[in-house]
């Protein structure tokens, strides 16, 4: 240890000297002195950096940034028939003649041909910008609002939003888009949609839509706010399920203030009057290989099948190749239209053995509620398709075209206190199953 310490101290005290052989000397290249060719090298580097930052982007990819706007906003933007984004948006487009199209469901599409010009110098930092704006119009604002209501009902399937995801506000967005429209023509749509408010986000969407409809898309006045509040209270008063919905949506301290009110008591009495009177279930019977349970309510009864099993669905696909080609698998869920096709096929299978009072069909939501009160066992993790339609509007017929474009059938699940929601009938999900009913 003493030797090591002495060596370190010696090295620290010794002054380092640069020897002649340690010096570096640059040699001339082709007779050019170092100070000349180094200056040229540094200059070339600077010129290259300036070229690739100021000129090369504009030369290699000439174009401009389009500032695309539409009234109302949210329209899909297509450049040369290729989808880009939704308005408002900034989109880089290559130089040349381009066709910009804006499309919004329920509105007439608009397009214009523009000549996109480029900027060569400093386009990376200061790109050339061109503004493109269109005003979209609709001849049927009622249909636009109904489409928003259908989307609203479909999103009710998502449940309460969390920090991981949020849900859009399609109903109020549709109210904003139609702007100055006849209020009375939209009230029946808004009133029918209220019953699908299953979480706080959907409740906010309805309230915002109500204010926008009452004020025709413009700023609200104190009187219009009061009128909208009265309309909201009127909706609640006409909806028997409003009390149970509000109890799960509003904070507990607020609910405690109205829990003993006359309005809550009246709604509870209305619900109790509508409840089936002591429904019962009887031993099941087998038809077409499926187990059917008889549900009895007073002098009326109907049969409810088990959830459609995989083997029966595969037999249906073998008999109906067109549905087999659709690729719908039972474990992934089936669409409402596929379930209706299955009903028609199974009716023929049952009819060979049993004389039916009616064809096999999807159950009505009231029948599922009666079965639930009779302790019928449902799959608590899945919704079920129903025969009922989502949009009970007089101006819509219950045909396939109107259902697919605007309305949709309801679906329900009774392990969650009779929770109801909706989904466009041509879509499907692993969380949706179906069963059949025969009266």
∠ CA(419), CA(425), CA(431), 5° rounding? 50
Does domain 61-135 correspond to CATH entry 2.60.40.1120? yes
Can you tell me the distance from the alpha carbon of 215 to that of 211, in angstroms, rounded to the nearest whole number? 6
For 73, 155, 212, the CA distances from 141, given in Å and listed in that order, are: 15, 21, 14
Q: Is the dihedral of CA 207, 208, 209, 214 positive or negative?
A: positive
Q: Where in the chain is the domain with CATH 2.60.40.1120?
A: 61-135
Note down pLDDT in tens along the chain; length 439 residues.
Answer: 444 544 445 445 555 555 555 566 778 877 788 777 788 888 889 988 888 888 888 888 888 899 999 988 889 999 999 999 999 999 999 888 999 999 998 899 999 999 988 888 877 777 888 999 999 988 888 888 888 887 887 777 676 777 777 888 888 898 888 876 666 667 777 777 776 776 778 878 888 888 888 776 666 667 777 777 777 667 666 655 566 666 666 777 777 777 777 777 776 666 555 554 567 777 778 888 888 888 888 778 888 899 999 999 999 999 988 888 877 888 888 888 899 999 999 988 886 555 555 788 898 888 888 888 788 887 666 778 888 765 544 444 445 554 444 444 555 555 444 556 666 677 777 778 899 998 8
Residue 394's pLDDT is: 46
Backbone φ, ψ for residue 329 (5° rounding) = -110, 145
Beta strand 280-281 with 290-297 is antiparallel
Residue 404's pLDDT is: 47
Backbone φ, ψ for residue 38 (5° rounding) = -65, -40
Can you tell me the distance from the alpha carbon of 422 to that of 409, in angstroms, rounded to the nearest whole number? 7
Can you tell me the distance from the alpha carbon of 61 to that of 95, in angstroms, rounded to the nearest whole number? 8
CATH number for the 280-438 domain, one of 3.40.1350, 1.10.287, 2.60.40, 3.10.100? 3.10.100
Rounded to 10 deg, the angle between the 170-178 and 200-214 helix axes is: 10
For 5, 106, 339, 426, the CA distances from 389, given in Å and listed in that order, are: 94, 21, 14, 14
Q: Where in the chain is the domain with CATH 3.10.100?
A: 280-438
∠ CA(400), CA(290), CA(348), 5° rounding? 50
Q: Is the dihedral of CA 324, 330, 331, 332 positive or negative?
A: positive
Q: What 3-state class would DSSP assign to 175?
A: helix
Q: Nearest CA to 403 among 350, 351, 362?
A: 362
Please report where in the chains the tokens 């209501």 appear, as a residue.
149
- Alpha carbon of residue 426 to chain centroid: 15
- List of long-range contacts for 308-312, beta carbons under 8 Å, 24+ apart: 308/342, 308/433, 308/434, 308/435, 308/436, 312/288, 312/346
Residue 395's pLDDT is: 42
């Amino acid at each position: 240890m003493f030797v090591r310490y002495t060596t370190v101290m010696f090295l620290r005290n010794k002054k380092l000297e640069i020897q002649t052989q340690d010096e570096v000397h640059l040699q001339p290249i082709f007779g050019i002195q170092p100070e000349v060719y180094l200056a040229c090298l540094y200059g070339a580097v600077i010129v290259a950096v300036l070229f690739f930052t100021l000129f090369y982007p504009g030369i290699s990819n000439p174009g401009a940034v389009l500032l695309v706007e539409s009234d109302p906003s949210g329209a899909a933007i297509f450049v040369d028939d290729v989808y880009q984004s939704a308005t408002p948006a900034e989109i880089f487009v290559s130089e040349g003649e381009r066709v910009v199209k804006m499309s919004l469901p329920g509105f007439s599409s608009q397009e214009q041909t523009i000549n996109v010009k480029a900027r060569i110098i400093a386009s990376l930092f200061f790109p050339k910008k061109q503004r493109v704006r269109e005003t979209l119009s609709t001849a049927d604002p009622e249909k636009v609002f109904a489409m928003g209501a259908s989307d609203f009902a479909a999103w009710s399937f998502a449940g309460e939003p969390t920090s991981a995801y949020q849900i859009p506000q399609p109903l109020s967005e549709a109210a904003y888009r139609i702007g100055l429209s006849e209020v009375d023509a939209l009230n029946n749509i808004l009133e029918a949609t209220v019953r699908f408010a299953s979480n706080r986000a959907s409740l906010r969407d309805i309230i915002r839509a109500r204010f926008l409809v009452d004020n025709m898309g413009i700023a609200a006045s104190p009187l219009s706010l009061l009128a909208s509040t009265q309309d909201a209270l009127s909706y609640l008063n006409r909806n028997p399920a409003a009390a149970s919905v509000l109890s799960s949506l509003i904070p507990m301290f607020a609910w405690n203030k109205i829990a003993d009110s006359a309005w809550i008591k009246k709604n509870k009495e209305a619900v109790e009057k509508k409840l089936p009177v002591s429904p019962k279930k009887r031993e099941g019977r087998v038809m077409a290989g499926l187990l059917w349970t008889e549900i009895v309510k007073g002098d009326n009864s109907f049969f409810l099948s088990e959830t459609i099993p995989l083997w029966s669905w595969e037999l249906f696909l073998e008999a109906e190749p067109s549905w087999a080609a659709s690729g719908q698998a039972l474990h992934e869920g089936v669409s409402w239209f596929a379930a209706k096709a299955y009903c028609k096929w199974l009716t023929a299978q049952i009819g060979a053995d049993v004389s039916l009072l009616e064809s096999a069909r999807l159950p009505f939501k009231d029948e599922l509620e009666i079965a639930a009160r009779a302790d019928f066992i449902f799959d608590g993790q899945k919704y079920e398709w129903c025969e009922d339609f989502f949009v009970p509007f007089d101006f819509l017929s219950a045909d396939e075209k109107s259902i697919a474009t605007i309305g949709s059938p309801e679906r329900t699940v009774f392990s969650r206190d009779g929770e109801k929601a909706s989904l466009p009938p041509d879509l499907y999900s692993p969380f949706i199953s179906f069963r059949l009913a025969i009266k």
